[in-house]
């Protein structure tokens, strides 16, 4: 019964996201853009294969990584995670018992240590207060409740909240990041002034069309492929030569 109820809630939430069309975009325009994005994702999958992402051994490691990666290169995050792992602290009870000063020193490679250490400790406090320290209980919470709770925590914006929901809690969330914005805008699917809601609605519509595996698996694969092409080709300066999406550029169509 609980599984069916959760499935129905997720279906309702997805439908609500799709119904709220971005200003100035009709349902037909969104459907056309979603079809184009579907073809682009298929091209990325053909070029890169399955990504098996996020790079973490446990749910909690993924959550810590989501905090640490803010405004930081992943190589620096890996050094911080390795420091925590070597110290035997890369688990909930380890962080719970670690003084803030010690945590700041261990995550120093990731930068912004005051804010990030405080945010990680605040997450553990939240987990203790709301879910008796159990990530499994948080995982069983519906996304419509868990997402606002995450967003209320220090250091958690929509991108971090949705990354945690998707990769750690196994909810089919859409992670709206700069890579997704660059890919969709540069390929003419949305305008440069498109809101995060417009990006999320487009991706949600696209995922409704494909659904080859499960909602969560598709959402993870989609985000990971966008990150991969973003790192290789769609950075702050576009490097379109040899990109699997070069054929989809507006001037090529």
Structure letter (DSSP) for residue 88: T
Q: Tell me: the pLDDT tens digits for 74-113? A: 999 999 999 999 999 999 999 999 999 999 999 999 999 9
| pLDDT profile of the chain (253 residues), mean per 10 | 47 45 68 95 96 90 97 95 98 97 98 98 98 97 97 97 96 95 97 95 88 80 96 96 96 63
Does residue 100 sit in helix, strand or coil? helix
Tokens of 132: 């008796």
Is-above-0.75 flag for pTM?
yes
Q: What is the pLDDT of residue 83?
A: 98
Q: Kindly report the three-state secondary structure assignment for every residue of 11-32.
A: HHHHHHHHHCCCCCCCHHHHHH
The distance in angstroms from the start CA to the end CA of the chain is: 48
Q: How would you classify residue 132: left for phi > 0, otherwise alpha for psi between -120 and 50, otherwise beta?
A: left
- Which pLDDT score is estimated for 213? 57
Scan for tokens 């019964």, then name that residue.
1
Q: Which residue has the tokens 């660059």?
A: 182
């Amino acid at each position: 019964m609980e599984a069916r109820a959760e499935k129905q809630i997720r279906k309702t939430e997805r439908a609500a996201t799709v119904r709220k069309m971005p200003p100035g975009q009709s349902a037909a325009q969104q459907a056309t853009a979603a079809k184009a994005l579907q073809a682009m994702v298929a091209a990325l999958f053909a070029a890169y294969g399955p990504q098996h992402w996020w790079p973490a051994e446990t749910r909690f490691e993924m959550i810590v990584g989501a905090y640490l990666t803010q405004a930081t290169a992943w190589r620096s995050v890996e050094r911080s995670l390795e420091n925590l792992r070597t110290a035997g602290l890369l688990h909930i009870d380890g962080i719970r018992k670690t003084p803030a000063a010690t945590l700041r020193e261990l995550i120093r490679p990731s930068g912004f240590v005051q804010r990030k250490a405080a945010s990680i400790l605040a997450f553990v406090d939240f987990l203790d207060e709301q879910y008796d320290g159990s990530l499994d209980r948080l995982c069983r919470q519906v996304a419509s409740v868990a997402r606002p709770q995450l967003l209320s925590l220090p250091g958690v914006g929509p991108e971090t909240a949705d990354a945690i929901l998707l990769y750690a809690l196994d909810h089919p969330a859409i992670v709206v990041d700069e890579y997704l914005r660059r890919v969709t805008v540069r390929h003419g699917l949305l305008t440069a002034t498109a809101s995060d809601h417009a990006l999320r609605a487009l991706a949600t519509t696209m995922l409704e069309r494909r659904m080859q595996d499960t909602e969560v698996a598709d959402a993870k694969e989609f985000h990971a492929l966008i990150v991969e092409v973003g790192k290789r080709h769609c950075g702050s300066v576009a490097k379109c030569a040899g990109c699997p999406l070069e054929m989809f550029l507006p001037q090529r169509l």
